[in-house]
Structure 1
Amino acid sequence: MSSTSENITEAARRILRENDRGGYTVPTAGLYPYQWNWDSAIAALGFAEFDMNRAWQEIETLFAGQWETGMVPHILFHKPDAGYFPGPDVWQGVGPTQSTGITQPPVAATMARMVYDRDPAMGKARLSALFPKIRAWHSWFLKWRLDSENAVCVTHPWESGRDNAPEWDLVLKTMTAEGVGEYTRKDTSHVDASMRPTKFDYDRYIWLVQQGARLKWDQQALREQSPFRMADPTTTFLLLRAHRDLLAVGERLNLDVTGMAEEVALLEAGARSLWNTELGSFDARNAATGEFANCMSNASFLCWYGGIDEAGQLEKLRASLTKTRFPVASHPTDSDRYDSCRYWRGPTWAFMNMMIGFGLEDCGHADLAQEVRTKTAELIETYGFAEYFDSTSGAPAGGDTFTWTAAVWLAWAGSQAKGTL
């Protein structure tokens, strides 16, 4: 490893330490002052490169906020922070820790398996203790979030982790934000507004939060009343992968995995149902109408991560890689909705690249896995640990000194500098 790479590795470790709040990390100071669900699981993978105990603690703290229903919230509000909106008073979550009322794409099982694989002797007891909690979360998805074709739905754009992705545009345009009232956004005081969701979108985000709070986050009521219920490629592929991983570790640890193989098959059928023949890509689908969003995204390329090797999607990826300097654009550059710096409407995200790379490697596409990894390493080496990046220029965007980008370097991209794959 070169001295430059060693310096970057040390900087990545420092970011994880500086964003550590005692048992959990924040994504970055200021903009995101709490524990985010999928950020936290990815942080654990980064910690596992130099502090195995801290890696397990990250996941354990996340599951300490699990609701009785099995749901694991997308944000845990461990400590008050006036610099973030909407806070716990708006969400009115009903879990053991103040939290939001929605979840996020479930990557914890996969990250826990990867952490365990680095030191099985140390991780056996801790993963065994987490197993029933993770399974309860997955069971919650299976009970409440499958559409008629068994793809996994989200009930809020924030729940998808891809807040302002173009897939949600058509549904958001049909929604009213009447009665949402006045509020003050805090995100645009930390980051340039050109990089964040628009006020039109944000009004509807808050309306959905207020509706959920009024319904006390009752899933049956939300299923019947919410205007936003979208089958989401991100959540579908990630739950499919996570359930495969949970089944594998359950078998290895001699735990009860009754019914899990059948559940994996159900989720795989749901994932395959998201193939939009007209678009030639995996796509989001409106659960209420069955209509596709007709929108390819970097989430479409998570199919291999979920264990689905689709030749048509592979050709779309090869084409995408020729159109931007850095992979993988979150939205096609030739779309009229592409925006090079606005969150999920064009920029590249290192952690999405990592999951895409893992999937490509698992499915035997080593050349493309190497390309995505090499270019992501170059992106971080050149432009730092930003939240996300302009896929055409590489310019950093969003928050800085970002936990999951540092974790990506430590667990995946930085090994490119070591000459390993």
Structure 2
Amino acid sequence: MNVHIDQAKRILAANDRGGYTVPTDRLYPFQWNWDSAFVAMGFALYDIDRAYRELERLVEGQWADGMIPHIVFHAPSDTYFPGPNVWRTKHRIPTSGITQPPVFAIALRRLHEAAGSDAEERTLRLYEAALKWHRWWYSARDPDGTGLVALLHPWESGSDNSPAWDIALARVPTTTDTPVERKDTGHVDADMRPRDEDYRRFIHLVDTYAACGWDPAKQWEKAPFKVAEIQTTAILLKAGEDLEALARAFGRVDDVAELAAFNVLTRKGILAQWRPALSRFISRDLLSGQDIEAATQAGFIPLLSVDLEKPVADALVDEMKAWSKSLKVAFPTTKPGIRSWEPKRYWRGPAWAIINWLLIDGLTRNGHADSAEELRKSTIAAIEAEGFAEYFDPVTGEGCGGQGFSWTAAAYLWLERRVVPAHKNQMSEHK
């Protein structure tokens, strides 16, 4: 028996708080949205009931308008800021007021396929929640029908502190109505976390939207930060494909048509963001109208959800190889060597197992199984050498950030058992 599999399961058990999993003790003491979707996929390999429970607990936080918030505060904790009193949301249980990448439906399809007909009712209830959230994305975050969804806060990207936000975030004032009482730097080295000035901007945005009563139309109008984001949009499209597959399985003809239309629109929107000169896809700053050319992992995530023309997929893979050259752990979240590259600071360079998981699925989908297998082995080796850290310094391999991290454990469970075949039919998983 692989000792690391046992360890991964022990971490998920240790971070279980009663049907939902915290990312890690103290640093993140609540249920996080996309973390839980990855964790559910990990549980699905050995405890399908617990996997469903993870998504069911997350949906307890879903708002009437369909949004699933990025944090659900099931139980109080004083080790994290900003807590419920800062968010000032009016949901029946305390939640944050913003969202996170919609990995939920991707996880739900995997759970459904693992459980088969035994869990059909549970799947259907979660499918309804996922569909409501999907509709929310298009109405609240793409009111102009571009196919690209916008984020109104960097935290919504999951890549909170990415160099992709530097220019757009610099326009956000550092004034806050809320005293900023950081707790994260008490748990983790400050050199690995966002800077104080950026934290004040993050809280300025929270204050702004709380003053709008968290009304999506008012937030859209008042947002001092508004980015049509390529990583979130690509994840939304994969979620849309998986929801469409579930709708077909359930014979929901009207839903199939609605979801197919969303997916066509978003596929077009993503393809329009390809920049051959950069060999990657880019986000757009909706307030300035400018391309966001910051070199981050987000530009490669469309591999996950689009069947790309061969020259485009090949260019992406060549660029990924150039970024990974001579690194101990791939894949870096910022291009090595550029001014904003910080290999140990949160989202400004480190390698993350869950990002690698998405890229591995995307590389496999687009006919680059060898590159997928290389990245899978690099991720497994990093975890086996350094443990289940939040992320890894790609240069030294050191495990950084929070330790005993749930989504790293889930990623290990998934990737350890999944060797990418060398000559796989590139579309077999997606038909």
TM over 0.5: same fold? Answer: yes
Matches within 5 A, 1:306-325: 306-309=305-308, 310-311=312-313, 312-325=315-328
Q: Classify 1:314/1:417 alpha carbon distance in 2 versus 1 (closer, same or farther; 3 Å).
A: closer
What corresponds to 2:111 in structure 1?
115
What corresponds to 1:20 in structure 2?
16
Structure 1: which 5+ residue stretches go unaligned?
A: none
> Residue 185 in 1 paired to residue 182 in 2?
yes
> Residue 72 in 1 paired to residue 68 in 2?
yes
Aligned-residue offset at 1:181: 5.1
Matches within 5 A, 1:31-180: 31-146=27-142, 149-180=146-177
Give the one of 385, 388, 399 matched to 2:391: 388
Measured in 1, the distance between the counterparts of 2:197 and 2:417 equals 39
Q: Deviation digits for residues 189-217 of structure 1, max 9, x if unmatched?
A: 00000000001110100000111111111
What corresponds to 2:347 in structure 1?
344
Q: Secondary structure, in 3 states, of the residue corresponding to 1:254?
A: coil
Matches within 5 A, 1:266-415: 266-309=265-308, 310-311=312-313, 312-415=315-418
Q: Secondary structure, in 3 states, of the residue corresponding to 2:199?
A: helix
Q: Deviation digits for residues 235-280 of structure 1, max 9, x if unmatched?
A: 1000000000000111012224232111110111121232234433
What corresponds to 1:264 in structure 2?
263
Q: Work out whether residues 283 and 292 of structure 2, in 8 Å CA contact, stay in contact via their aligned partners in 1.
A: yes
Q: Work out whether residues 21 and 54 of structure 2, in 8 Å CA contact, stay in contact via their aligned partners in 1.
A: yes
Q: Work out whether residues 301 and 362 of structure 2, in 8 Å CA contact, stay in contact via their aligned partners in 1.
A: yes
Structure 2: which 5+ residue stretches go unaligned?
A: 425-431
Q: Secondary structure, in 3 states, of the residue corresponding to 1:50?
A: coil
Measured in 2, the distance between the counterparts of 1:131 and 1:369 equals 29
**Higher deviation after alignment, 365-374 or 112-121:** 112-121
Measured in 2, the distance between the counterparts of 1:364 and 1:123 equals 33
Measured in 2, the distance between the counterparts of 1:308 and 1:301 equals 13
Q: Deviation digits for residues 11-44 of structure 1, max 9, x if unmatched?
A: 0000001100011000000000000000001100
TM-score by length of 1: 0.95
Aligned-residue offset at 1:314: 2.3
TM-score by length of 2: 0.93
Aligned-residue offset at 1:316: 1.1
**Higher deviation after alignment, 151-160 or 112-121:** 112-121
Superposed CA RMSD in Å reads: 1.9
Measured in 1, the distance between the counterparts of 2:374 and 2:383 equals 14
Measured in 1, the distance between the counterparts of 2:173 and 2:333 equals 27
Measured in 1, the distance between the counterparts of 2:420 and 2:367 equals 22
Q: Work out whether residues 67 and 94 of structure 1, in 8 Å CA contact, stay in contact via their aligned partners in 2.
A: no
Aligned-residue offset at 1:308: 4.0
> Residue 214 in 1 paired to residue 217 in 2?
no
Q: Work out whether residues 153 and 231 of structure 1, in 8 Å CA contact, stay in contact via their aligned partners in 2.
A: yes
Question: Given residue 293 of structure 2, which amino acid in structure 1 is its aligned partner?
Answer: N
Q: Work out whether residues 31 and 74 of structure 2, in 8 Å CA contact, stay in contact via their aligned partners in 1.
A: yes
Measured in 1, the distance between the counterparts of 2:407 and 2:176 equals 36
Aligned-residue offset at 1:75: 0.0
Q: Classify 1:116/1:366 alpha carbon distance in 2 versus 1 (closer, same or farther; 3 Å).
A: same
Aligned-residue offset at 1:416: 4.7
Measured in 1, the distance between the counterparts of 2:175 and 2:112 equals 48
Measured in 1, the distance between the counterparts of 2:96 and 2:122 equals 26
